[in-house]
Amino acid sequence: MSKTLAVARWEYLERVKSKAFLIGLFLTPIIMVGMGVLPSVFATQEDEETRVIGIIDRSGVTAREFARRMEERYRLANGAPNYSVRSIAVGQTIDLGEAVRQANNMVSNGEIEGYCVVDGDAAPDSVVEYRSRSVGDFRVGIRMQETLKGIVAERRVLAMGLDPRVLKELAVNLDVRMVKLSKAGEKEEAGFEKIFFSAFVFLMMMFFLIATSGQILVRSVIEEKANRIVEVLVSSCSPTELMAGKVIGLSGLAFTQLGFWTIIGVAASVQFGMELINPGHALLLVIYFILGYLFYAAIFIGAGSPLTTEQEAQQVNTYLILLLVLPMMLALPAMKDPEALWLRVLTFIPFFTPTMMALRVPIQVPALWEILLTVVLMILSIYVVMVAAGRVFRIAILSTGKSPSFGEILRWARSG
Amino acid sequence: MLLVTHLRKAFDTVLAVDDVSFSVQRGEIFGLLGPNGAGKTTTIRVILKILEPDAGETTYDGRKFSDRTRDILGYMPEERGLYKKSKVIDAILYFAELRGMARGQAKAEAYRWLKRFALLEHAERKVEELSKGNQQKVQFITAVLHGPQLLVLDEPFSGLDPVNQILFKDILLELKREGKAIIFSTHQMEQAEKLSDSLCLINKGRVVLGGSVRDVKKRYGTNSLHLEFEGDGSFLNTLPGVSRSLIYPNSAELELTRDAKTQPILSELIGRLEVRKFELVEPSLQSIFIQVVAGVPAPRQLEAL
């Protein structure tokens, strides 16, 4: 036992001290937050200068009203208009080809950012084109749409002989808010994003930690095999002690990362006033995380220890990572219908249990018998996989040269 | 005492170790000799339980090796290498801990050995920053730090410069005086000749000769006598115990029979020749090695397994 701890301590300290670990520790949450937050930050960022847009108006009656409304309604922080609208060609008789050519020139020499082409008012549902060099700014599109809709609506109301104020009366603001009911029938706030986000973050973290520590494990075994350190190790302690030590050391590493990220996460959510996920749910998720981690760690040992080169290790890693990605791809369909039969069936397959539970728990906590049964199943399969991996490990760590065939590995795993 | 009896280990159809037996006493340096691919390293791995033998057993002081007796072993494998990215002192302490040593004690011992090898200033550096020779010293330290009863060194001298070879040799002799049993393998006969008390020569998995160095030389070699003199040496080939002779005007090389005594020859010479040099030349292990290995048949093939 003390030797197992010596191995665990060594594996843990050597990795914790490495630069790669520190980078991963800080960079991963930054990247994850970045992926989630940055696009919306950019999208909602206010303009700082007035933007000039052009209009080609074949109805002949829209351009002026459009310019007035755009310039009055949308203002920059300093009070200046957000948009300045230039009429390029207005009238029912204009030469469209000529106008477009002129507008294109203006875009390319920077006079205007883009222009919209408004057809005659004949069709009840029409498409207005906005042509610009960058079509990524969807806000300008939404604003033009609002403005044009307003103009057309007002014109129609007037044509019917009504007071334009009627439009204000007709404007209805209505929102459907999703409210989740728990089993007991109490209502529980849970937006789709929140559920998706907590499940997704959980999956990402599990994926990341299993993939990285699996790689670390396989690398360390390959290094020890290449320079024969493993002979000294095996003459000092039993292969079982060695493997157990490695698993414990790397688990410690993963849980260190997890703990650190949790602290960051909690601190961030307190800071920004985000709601935390239910502590009961969190506890369940942590249990499934630990079980899933150990399960996959054993698989990595079994699959990784017979390898003798980095290249082979990378190939095998790719397959193992696919195994992890598969459940993640099921996340969206699972979100829609957390009680679906196929989802419940997959929950009982050890490969999928942790991820399926990660999806189901935040939406709808599964029945107690399901939780107990999956935990027992996971523990049993961890035991089975660990024993098999241990057998493979014991033989594999001393074999060098040609990597054994899959059949041979299976034989090792079965033979006591 | 280490006792190895009838060890056998086969890989696929080749017998890598075939009925190998020998013993190593405390305070003895034992040379495991043989050409490349003879089965030295496999023998060592089986003794250390890194590989399971197909037959035979190894005992130390009458007890089989088990997980508990592992700590009396010290082992330095042939391939040089340690954790490259780790600090020298950390790597040494890790191996000491794996051998069941307490951390504080291990630290004191580690620094004592680093000092001995003039590596103190490298203690906090990474292993990969050290020269090959220095890495080998670190590896040696990891093998001896915990004061093993039985020290097993696979080709300890290969890759060392002459100065460090002497250093290693001194340390081995020191450990021998402390009563350790030391096994080392080599294919360099001069090393074995200078250092070992007894030896075992393996070729193609089998022991072809073994015993104390003196015995081996007595059994397998023939001594020869080198003479320089003034006078008429033509009678030299008729002396008792001389089997062959090469006689020159002022010198001669006489090959002696196995049981020949030098004293009677010397007294025959006195009065008849003016003897300038009288030297009994022992056969080198090298020549025995070549003689024995050259006459050994190919490895035995097993019947289909």
In a domain, B105, yes or no: yes
Cβ contacts of A310 within 8 Å, gap of 6 or more: A219, A222
What is the average per-residue pLDDT within A234-254?
87
pLDDT tens digits for A119-140?
Answer: 765 555 677 888 887 766 777 8
Domains of chain A: 2-32+190-414 (no CATH), 51-170 (3.40.190.10)
Give the residue numbers spanning the domain of B255: 222-282
Q: Can you tell me whether residue B293 is helix, strand or coil?
A: helix
Q: Do B204 and B173 fall into the same domain?
A: yes
In chain B, how many domains are there?
Answer: 2
In 3D space, the residue among A66, A237, A85, A255 whose CA is nearest the CA of residue A154 turns out to be: A66
Indicate the range of A156-170, A180-194, B200-214, B256-270 predicted with least confidence: A180-194
Domain final residue pick, B211, B233, B262: B211
Residues B256 and B177 in one domain: no
Task: Count chain A–chain B contacts defined by CB atoms under 8 A.
Answer: 62
Say yes or no: B168 and B273 in one domain. no
User: Which ipTM value was assigned to this complex?
Assistant: 0.76
Domain assignment of residue B296, yes or no: no
- Considering the domain architecture, whether residues B69 and B152 belong to the same structural domain is answered as yes
Which residues from B are below 8 Å from A245, CB to CB?
Answer: none
**What predicted TM-score, i.e. pTM, was given to this entire model?**
0.71
Interface test with chain B among A236, A240, A397, by most B beta carbons within 10 Å: A236
Q: Do B92 and B163 belong together in one domain?
A: yes
- CA–chain centroid gap for B123, Å, is 30
Residues B178 and B88 both lie in one domain: yes
Instruction: Please give the residue that has the higher pLDDT: either A21 or A279.
Output: A21
B257 is a domain residue: yes
Smallest CA–CA separation between A37 and chain B, in Å? Answer: 37
User: Is the CB of A235 less than 8 angstroms away from the CB of B79?
Assistant: no
In a domain, B67, yes or no: yes
CA proximity to A397, closest of B45, B73, B86, B147: B45
Q: What is the DSSP code (8-state) at residue B273? A: B
Same domain as B140, residue B107: yes
Instruction: Show residues of chain B in contact with A236, CB under 8 Å.
Output: 70-71, 73, 95, 98-99
Q: The CATH number of the domain where B226 resides is what?
A: 3.30.70
- Determine, for residues A14 and B90 on separate chains, whether the beta-carbon distance falls below 8 Å: yes
Query: Is B201 within the bounds of a domain?
Result: yes
Nearest CA to CA, how far is B80 from chain A (Å)? 7
| Contact: A18, B85; criterion CB under 8 Å | yes
Q: Which residue, among A351, A211, A354, A338, has the nearest Cα to A287 in the 3D structure?
A: A354
Contacts of residue B206, Cβ cutoff 8 Å, sequence gap at least 6: B18, B19, B20, B296
Burial A35-67 (b: 16+ CB within 10 A, else e): eeeeeeeeeeeeeeeebbbbbbbbbebbbebbb
pLDDT at B300 over 60: no
Q: Note the pLDDT of residue A220.
A: 84
- Whether B36 and B183 map to the same domain: the answer is yes
Please say which residue of B182, B211, B240 terminates a domain: B211
Rg (CA), chain B: 24
Please tell me whether residues B205 and B238 are part of one structural domain: no
CATH of the domain at B138: 3.40.50.300
- Please say if the pLDDT value at position B79 is more than 90: no
Boundary of a domain, candidates B150, B178, B211:
B211
Specify the higher pLDDT residue, A304 or B90: B90
Residue B98 lies in a domain: yes
B288 domain-assigned: no
pLDDT surpasses 50 at B302 = no
Q: Quick one: B176 and B238 in the same domain?
A: no
Phi and psi angles of residue A350, each rounded to the nearest 5 degrees, phi first: -50, -35
Same domain, B256 and B196: no
Length in residues, chain A: 416
Q: Report yes or no on B196 lying in a domain.
A: yes
Looking at the structure, tell me whether residues B43 and B154 fall in a common domain.
yes
Distance CA(B39)–CA(B48), nearest Å, equals 14
Helix or strand holding residue B74 (H, E): strand B73-76
Angle between helices A239-271 and A229-236 (to 10 degrees): 100
In this complex, do A237 and B95 lie within 8 Å of one another by their Cβ atoms? no
pLDDT cut 90: percent of chain A above it: 5
Beta-carbon count within 10 A of A261 CB: 19
pLDDT tens by residue, B107-126: 999 999 999 999 999 999 99
